[in-house]
Amino acid sequence: MKASELRSKNVEELNQELVALLKARFGLKMQLSTQQSTKTGDLGKLRRDIARVKTLIREKAGQ
């Protein structure tokens, strides 16, 4: 997910995106813990996407 795509969204849309990413992270962590998946790199990508969304939410809230 690119930051330029996220910047065009408003705070409500960013919050919805954050919830979706958190659910995806939870699901991936469960798959990894039960050894249903071996895609450990996806967890890092999700963490960075979550951080991007949280940063943009804070930036837009400060304006």
| Beta strand extents in the chain (DSSP E only) | none
Its pTM stands at: 0.89
Tokens 């954050």 found at: 18
Report all structural domains of the chain as residue ranges with CATH numbers, in order of start: 3-62 (1.10.287)
CA distance 9 to 44: 23
Q: How confident is the model at residue 22 (pLDDT cuts 50, 70, 90)?
A: very high
- The answer on pLDDT for 44 being more than 80 is yes
Averaged pLDDT of the chain = 92
Task: Please give the DSSP secondary-structure letter assigned to residue 8.
Answer: T
With cut-offs at 50, 70 and 90, classify the pLDDT of residue 41.
very high
With a cut of 90, say whether residue 1 has pLDDT above it: no
Does residue 33 register a pLDDT over 80?
A: yes
